[in-house]
Structure 1
């Protein structure tokens, strides 16, 4: 059993300033840095750092950043043998601007990430044993993600983060929502998909539940934790109180930790609680993947071995 994250790797280019620029405004940054990112790659690192057997499948460019990305993922314990390389295309980039309170805005150029062959995604998903968790997002073409979902064997749980949400409003994206066993999204994505406002969640969440296979929706609420809605009702799980430095990638940290916990046989509540802890740690540090904690740092046993042998608390 493994966690498989299919999707994007991007090289993140950061600017840190006292405040974010308004439209048409230029603001001086006090620091600049680069770091590894991309939603699926972030999820894989968050899962692997907790000790879960983890694979990442994405497409890198044939520039120097591609091999560097694969080396970084391997160093975190992520298996990358099924990744593809796109000739004549650069590895994707995300431009991240962070203010003094940790708030951020992001613009992404996918580059090679969008060129992952659907056949490669499907073949890798088809090889998953029962008990595995397949994690998909919307950062690569939904047709590619849908191919992976369709190829996953029975007994593989599909954890879907419909981000960016616009890709899931119709057609293949809407069909992919229907395959989800667990849907994880933030309040903004909920608003886009369900047509409600972020502050009025009950109706929109139930509407999304009815459109998914697993009838389970998790709405992440930043510093307020997460709301879990399934056939047993609604449950609110709080997040640790921390001083945020950089909130970039916190949702991916949550999703990766949840995937690792579910693969290990944890209950949904246990997995969400762990996801909130991992996300809370991540926002106290700069960057995405580099900010994610290890199992030892959290004081939990690494999630090695067959599903069901470890149950995180």
Structure 2
């Protein structure tokens, strides 16, 4: 995949995110509880989220022509989900509505922005491989297909397989569990092999190569390089929070710093990073430039609460909207 190449013909969609939409329920406290402990909360809230929905909005706000394909419930939350995404310019025309309620995430957040998250899939698991593949097959060369681990791996693998050559497949293997045993899961193996770019955080990187979470930060570049060889993908991007991101390609390593900011809420920052990265790639940016844009977008997002409400528009980054004509 040649990241620096530009495409003269603009596709109708430049970024397609296939996956989940969730309603996020927050509970706030001064600190997070330890196992078996109860602590007093300082407040509660709800907001829109879900990894693929987050990616689509983050890309759209920077000027990408974004589409989200994911199942939502026939409940009020499902209707609100589609209306929210539409207001941000995200195409939701291919989203099925199912009998199970819309997916939910439950997030405990402390005063430093640290979090615990548990997610219930609900309607999200109602997205079929046929619908996902049909949407991916419509993408033209130059577009970006973004996939995660929040829906069954078989569905994401079908979408990746349907993408024509020239479509960049970005995989964020999060949650990481479905990808930890690719030898015993042919769909996971195929999806990892098809990905042009794998984006994940340091803990997920270590989980995929079988290392313990306590590995030292100094060993991260070696671990990322090992992961790239292990899954045989072209590029691995490891996000390292306030330190930015590490980009590993064959024969090269690059660290991209992040702006220094005061952290309020880290929830969804990784999705904001992926959405901005996808929008930059689809606009023909060199990879280093797209990763820098992603670091800046994620840095803004952690200064605000919640997921979708936190993602910046291009003007907030002092950046012109990414022109679809570049894709």
Relative to the length of structure 2, the TM-score reads 0.92
The RMSD of aligned alpha carbons is 1.2
Aligned-partner Cα distance in 2 for 1:30–1:202: 39
The reply to whether residue 223 of structure 1 matches residue 242 of structure 2 is yes
Unmatched runs of 5 consecutive residues or more in structure 1:
309-313
Show the 5 A alignment for 1:187-226. 187-197=202-212, 198-199=215-216, 200-212=219-231, 214-226=233-245
Q: Map of 1:82-231 to 2, 5 A cutoff?
A: 82-87=94-99, 89-169=100-180, 170=182, 171=185, 172-197=187-212, 198-199=215-216, 200-212=219-231, 214-231=233-250
Deviation by residue 1:85-118 (Cα, 9 ceiling, x = unmatched): 112x100000011100001110000100011011
1:37-116 equivalences in 2 (<5 Å): 37-87=49-99, 89-116=100-127
Q: Per chain length, whose mean CA-contact separation is higher, i.e. which structure has more relative contact order (CA < 8 Å, sep 6+)?
A: 2
Contact residue 177 and residue 211 of structure 1 kept, 8 A: no
Per-residue deviation, 1:206: 2.1
| Deviation (angstroms), 1:203 | 3.4
Shift of 1:221: 0.1
Match of 1:79, SS state, is: coil
In structure 2, the residue matched to 1:292 is 311
Q: Which runs of 4+ in 1 moved over 3 A?
A: 211-214
Contact preservation (8 Å) 1:95, 1:106: yes
Deviations 1:185-228 (A, max 9, x none): 00110011012244222333223212456420000000010000
Q: Distance in 1 between matches of 2:308 and 2:188?
A: 26
The answer to whether structure 1 residue 257 and structure 2 residue 276 are counterparts is: yes
SS in 1 for 2:273: helix
Distance in 1 between residues matched to 2:74 and 2:96, nearest whole Å? 10
Question: Comparing 261-270 with 174-183, which one deviates more in the overlay?
Answer: 174-183
Could you say which residue in structure 1 is the equivalent of 2:302?
Answer: 283
1:27-67 deviations in whole A, cap 9, x for unaligned? Answer: 11112110000000000010000011000000001111001
- Change in CA separation of 1:232 and 1:266 when aligned onto 2, cut-off 3 Å: farther
Name the structure 1 match of 2:4. Answer: none
